[in-house]
Chain A
Amino acid sequence: MRRRTTLGGHTYEFASLSDLLAKATPARSGDVLAGVAAESQAQRVAAQVVLADVPLATFLDEQVVGYDEDDVTRLVLDTHDAAAFAPVASLTVGEFREWLLARAAERDEAAISALARGLTPEMVAAVSKLMRNADLVAVARRTRVVTGLRSTLGLPGRLASRLQPNHPTDDPVGVTASILDGLLHGSGDAVIGINPATDSPAQTVALLELVDAVISRYEIPTQSCVLAHVTTTLRALEQGAPVDLVFQSVAGTQAGNRGFGVTLDLLAEARTAALELGRGTVGRNVTYFETGQGSALSADAHHGVDGPVDQQTLECRAYGVARHFDPLLVNTVVGFIGPEYLYDGKQVIRAGLEDHFCGKLLGLPMGVDVCYTNHTDVDGDDTDTLTLLLGAAGCSFVIAVPGSDDVMLHYQSLSFQDVLTARSVLDLRPAPEFEAWLARMDLLDDAGRVRELAADAPAARALLAAAR
């Protein structure tokens, strides 16, 4: 098929489907670094014009990353659900955008949410490239993905948070202090999730036991996770450690996952092992994945059948991996990877909304680590903007650390106060089981808000007793 159009007197032609997808992508530094970005604004729009006329079904016939070479492509195509795809099977990418916006306006959550297994990552990436930020919010808001283990996530009107109590040396006292601070601010309903300072099995087991003890002592309806490599978690499982969630970073190509030291079989094995523990009370989702635009490029694992693939399409392919393992949580770490992939606040905000929309449309319980490093041109105003947009978009969860400052990973995420602000401004509440627990612990006021406590308040004393 010829992929060309004339715009403003110039004719633009695109060499391949992956070239078209890359050129149609809103500007970001990673695509420039990979040498696939549009060379002018007009060329970008021309690509979007051509992409709008591509039938969705094309993505089932024509591959961006080869079927024979790549197990992510095989996984996606071999599990494609033709019946779920049927309602939109005859549409072009541009018509699909309009179909989604119409269903969103009608608040027809069922119609949108039922598509998930009929869509491929490339279809979702393609339609996102034609959408404005508000389109991404409007459709994601009407896409429902509900998961559970010991709390229920993704319900309408809720915004959960991962409490991330990292410490540079995994010191148990320091970790505990950050956990208590987060709980006192109403954070932790998605997970209490620690990035360990080292990837040793012994350390992982020690941290798992520490968080499990806090959760058990106060009967908190949430789950723990130590974000070690999946092979480390498997070792911890063999030792009988209290593993709620199997974590792994995943990428959108087989080569990218090899770079992370994982295979699809390994992920399946770990999920099965965690399921066998039966630690859930309200659900059976036992995996947690993190992703982020640029991860494949940074591992030189971004090549497809017709050359390099743009980072946002590859990110969607990572979701194609994640959804196969019925995750409780998936989040993009949107500002972490650096300015060579997402340069500034505008690019980070755009990418955060794209990732959230695409993940959700593919059926994932999508969260976002709204974050930045100091060499990126992003600040608290940008993270406020993205957080409030994500709250409006029905984001499953965000990540929060004490005072926005992760003292182990040396980057800035949201603070517990930021989560309170987003909930308050947008009238969102914590996960229902966790909200009931907060009420039992006398941490909510009469209006249901997380109250600000004096240290000698009984609720504070009760929680701080864990520190003795």
Chain B
Amino acid sequence: MTPLPPEDGHLRAPLDPGDGHLRGGDDPWALLRNATRARVALGRAGDGLPTARELEFRAAHAAARDAVHTALDADLVRAALTAAGVGLEVLEVHSQAPDRTTYLQRPDLGRRLAEGTELPAGSHDLALVLADGLSPRAVHEHAAGTVAALLERLPGWSVAPIVLAHQARVALGDPVGEALGAGIAVVLVGERPGLSSADSLGLYLTSGPRPGRADSERNCISNVRPPHGLGYAQAADTLVALLQASRRLGASGVVLKDEGTALPPA
């Protein structure tokens, strides 16, 4: 894999008089490669890419494509939650998008609950929705760890049964949170896969969830994906700060940011 950029802010000279060797062994283009995760200095085969570089790119694209089209495995997520010590009941819902092809073309359907969906009405501080989004793989790999870290930090909060949502967009948390009677909904959703990040989980907080909430009324923590992205503890710390501020204000979104609750860079 491409290494991280050097910490000192300077590119290494290709022929460093200090040791007389290129960084990166025999590869003369290590200078550029050491400076960025971008795919620089790939070399050429004629005007095209060398075979190995071409196949590396295809492998990354294939992983991202497969992440999009993997089905959410509810049993896998339930087992992971149990293994992480999360004892809450787990319910399942579907959006109005019947399949992946429809889901990708009709985001409006992914925001609405399937006809006839019933959820137990209650009165809770918080609802947690695990939504497949554009990367079910992110939910498989990171949802349980994130939920466990979050619940540890919320003693005294009443939390509704966890809802696993199939073919779901972020806004599906609005009807789910409303039906459960939750003051705040947090949707943990698989983010659109990038070439180097097929398993990124996003966390979206909405105060007073109900259909019709605008995106400006949500707060987002992106790129939960240890070890490369945000860790569970770090994400949970930030989310708890947002949850407490949201409960205090009775609101979320832009107003929270104005309170000085800084969000981490995406």
Contacts and interface: CB of A to CB of B under 8 A. Distances in A.
Contacts of A421: 47-48
Interface in B26-57: 28-29, 31-33, 35-44, 47-49, 53, 57
A32 interface: yes
Interface size grouping (class) on chain B: 35 or more
B247 interface: no
A178 interface: yes
A337 to B, nearest CB: 12
A173 B10 contact: yes
A458 interface: no
Contacts of B108: 33
B13 to A, nearest CB: 5
Contacts, number: 153
Contact of A32 (B28, B29, B105): B105
A167 B36 contact: yes
B57 A404 contact: yes
30 contacts: A33-B108, A168-B37, A174-B37, A175-B36, A178-B40, A181-B38, A198-B265, A339-B104, A343-B104, A343-B105, A374-B67, A374-B68, A375-B68, A380-B61, A402-B40, A403-B40, A404-B39, A405-B60, A407-B194, A412-B61, A417-B42, A420-B47, A423-B47, A449-B47, A452-B43, A455-B29, A455-B31, A456-B15, A468-B10, A468-B13
Interface of B: 5-6, 9-11, 13-15, 22, 28-29, 31-33, 35-44, 47-49, 53, 57-58, 60-61, 64-65, 67-68, 104-108, 134, 192-198, 265
Given A173-B6, A173-B11, 14 more contacts: A32-B106, A33-B106, A33-B107, A173-B35, A343-B104, A401-B38, A402-B42, A407-B37, A407-B194, A412-B61, A417-B44, A423-B47, A424-B47, A454-B28
A70 interface: no
A404 B13 CA distance: 26
Interface SS of B by simple majority: loop
B11 A467 contact: yes
B48 A417 contact: yes
Interface size grouping (class) on chain A: 35 or more
A288 to B, nearest CB: 22
Nearest to B8: A173
A172 interface: yes
Max count, chain A CB within 10 A of own CB: residue among B5, B47, B106, B198: B47
